[in-house]
Chains A and B, each alone.
Chain A
Amino acid sequence: MNVRNILLGCAVALMAASLYLVFLYVPTEATMGVVQRIFYFHVPLAWVAFLAFFIVFAFSIIYLWKRAEKWDVIASASAEVGTVFTTLFLATGSIWARPVWGVWWTWDPRLTSALILWIIYIAYHLVRTHADGGSRGPRFAAVVGIVGFIDVPIVALAITLWRTQHPGPAIFQGGLAPSMMLTLMVCLVAFTVLYALFMLLRIAMKNDEREIRRLKLTRS
């Protein structure tokens, strides 16, 4: 029973539980109707995207400090998973906005900050592939990972200050009912476990790729 299988089992179980809770258990929200259920995916996706970005930040620092490639592998894997989750966050936000606000996109502080975050993730990957020379890619990506992570809260703050002059529709009046809170929490855990699983798979894959490259070099 290795870690991967345990995680896989947990992920499957938790996702199943989440699906049940989101679609069958939790009552329909009063104001927005059925579409509000996206919220239970939208928020955990955002949370994991930010967690992934933090992992990129932390391991970028460790990589620049220690210079062992394994730290860069973790940062790189986290950036990949983070990009996917950010894309999904933006997509679910857009899908949610359409019926509720009548538009596909709104310059809501959260969505706008997420868009910038997404662009920074893309830049992270671009810099890695476009850098001149093998050792520069991970190093440059690490710098982008560090600068980007420090920047995103400032971006969010600036955009929020900017938008308070034109307030968008509030997401929730009042707090969350207990059933909603439960659903949200389960989804949060489910997506975090999913993140961990993807990370494990991706890191293993990258390490295998590294090993193959090393074998090729020593043979030549």
Chain B
Amino acid sequence: MSFWNKALTIAWKDVISEMRTREIIISVLVFAILVIVIFNFAFGETREMLTAVAPGILWVTFAFSGVLSLNRAFVGEKEDGCLEGLMACPIGREVIYVGKLLGSLLFMLAVEAIALPVFALLFNLPVLSPELITITVLATIGFAALGTLFSALATNTRAREMVLPILFLPLVVPVIIAAVKATGLALAGQSWAAMSTWLYMITAFDIVFLVVSYLTFPFVIEE
């Protein structure tokens, strides 16, 4: 079986495992919706204010709920030594990285797919445009790429819930900035050309950190 088949097998295993209990996806979803609602109370004085801060609210929500789901990405592997079981398989550390990355990516996209319509509903904004979906998918890829690396790192750290936000969020600042800016333009109905700078930035980040994470992941999970 090829590299991709094995990576997809790992990702699929994660999806099935999560679907059985649904504990992470429900808590992350509830969290996301709560954040949106709370921010609405904090900033929703006038309609103009709301429209202005909407992109920021959306991406803060995605960033925090992304961190929440990444926190759990490797916990399942730590139990019963499953990660070591995987490392004993003739598959290589990189396959594990890509597999976990795909699993986390699918998970985050699923949460976003549900949160976005809720957002559209609560904010009365045209959220289901191809531009916004592209921005969301691209940004989530970068998030998941670097996040998987740091999730593995955090699993082997004391105070792991604290480590991921402190360590990881500053590093994804470019993605968040670019996503917020591009989302603002998309919601205002601007063209692809207008948001091209930001899309390039997100794509560049994605590529750079897919490569860097892929290369450094083996060093994080070995003993």
Touch A–B, Cβ below 8 Å = yes
By a beta-carbon cutoff of 8 Å, the part of chain A in contact with chain B is 64, 116, 119-120, 122-123, 126-127, 130-133, 135-136, 139-140, 142-144, 146-148, 150-151, 154-155, 157-159, 161-162
Across the interface, do B201 and A161 meet the contact criterion of CB distance under 8 Å? yes
Say if the beta carbon of B204 comes within 8 Å of chain A: yes
In this complex, what residue of B is CB-closest to A147? Answer: B212
Given A130-B157, A154-B208, do A120 and B163 touch, yes or no (CB 8 Å)? no
> Are A126's CB and B174's CB within 8 A?
no
| A150-B212, A154-B208 known; A140 vs B174 contact (CB < 8 Å) | no
For residue B164, give the distance in angstroms from its CB to the closest CB of chain A. 10
Starting from the known contacts A136-B223, A144-B167, A155-B170, 10 additional A-B residue pairs (CB-CB under 8 Å) come to: A119-B166, A123-B167, A131-B158, A133-B156, A143-B220, A147-B146, A147-B209, A151-B174, A155-B174, A157-B201
Cβ-closest chain A residue relative to B198? A161
Whether the Cβ atoms of B163 and A139 lie closer than 8 Å is no
Residues of B bordering A, CB below 8 Å? 146, 149, 153, 156-159, 163, 166-167, 170-171, 173-174, 177-178, 181, 197-198, 201, 204-205, 208-209, 212-213, 216, 219-220, 223
CA distance A131 to B181 in the complex (A): 36
Q: Which residues of B contact A123 (CB under 8 A)?
A: 166-167, 170
Contact B158 A130 (CB under 8 A): yes
CA distance A151 to B201 in the complex (A): 12
CB-CB under 8 A for A158 and B170, given A132-B157, A147-B212:
no
**CA A133 – CA B197 in complex, angstroms?**
43
Alpha-carbon distance A120/B219, docked complex (angstroms): 19
Among B158, B208, B220, which residue has its beta carbon within 8 angstroms of that of A150? Answer: B208
- Collect the chain A residues with CB atoms within 8 Å of residue B208's CB: 150, 154
Distance between Cα atoms of A157 and B197 in the complex (Å): 11
Q: A130-B157, A135-B223 are in contact. Are A119 and B170 (CB under 8 A)?
A: yes
Q: Are B173 and A158 in contact (CB under 8 A)?
A: yes
Asked if B149 contacts A143 (CB within 8 A), the reply is yes
If the complex has contacts A136-B156, A162-B177, are A120 and B216 also in contact, measured as CB distance less than 8 A?
no
In the complex, chain B residues whose CB is within 8 Å of the CB of A155: 170-171, 173-174
List B contacts of A126 (CB < 8 A): 163, 166-167
The A-B contact count (CB < 8 A) is 88
Q: Which of B163, B204, B212 sits near A127, CB closer than 8 Å?
A: B163
Bound complex: CA A123 to CA B204 (Å): 24
A155-B173, A158-B178, A162-B181 given as contacts; is B219 within 8 A of A139 (CB)? Answer: yes
**Cβ-neighbour of B220 out of A116, A139, A157, A159 (below 8 A):** A139
Q: Kindly state the separation between the CA atoms of A148 and B153 in the bound complex, as whole angstroms.
A: 14
Residues of the A chain whose Cβ atoms lie less than 8 Å from the Cβ of B216? 64, 143, 146-147
Residues of chain B contacted by A140 (CB below 8 angstroms): 153, 156-157, 220
A120 to B170 alpha-carbon distance, docked (Å): 7
Q: Does the CB pair A142–B157 fall under 8 Å? A: no
The complex places the Cα of A81 from the Cα of B49 at a distance, in Å, of 43
B170 CB contacts on chain A under 8 angstroms: 116, 119-120, 123, 155
Closest A-chain residue to B173, C-beta based?
A155
Contacts of A146 in B (CB 8 A): 212, 216
Nearest-neighbor residue (CB-CB) of B170 within chain A: A119
* Bound CA–CA A141/B62 (angstroms): 27
Given the complex, which residues of B lie within 8 Å of A161, measured CB to CB? 177, 197-198, 201
CA–CA, A116 and B170, complex, Å? 6
Select B149's contact among A122, A130, A147, beta carbons within 8 Å: A147
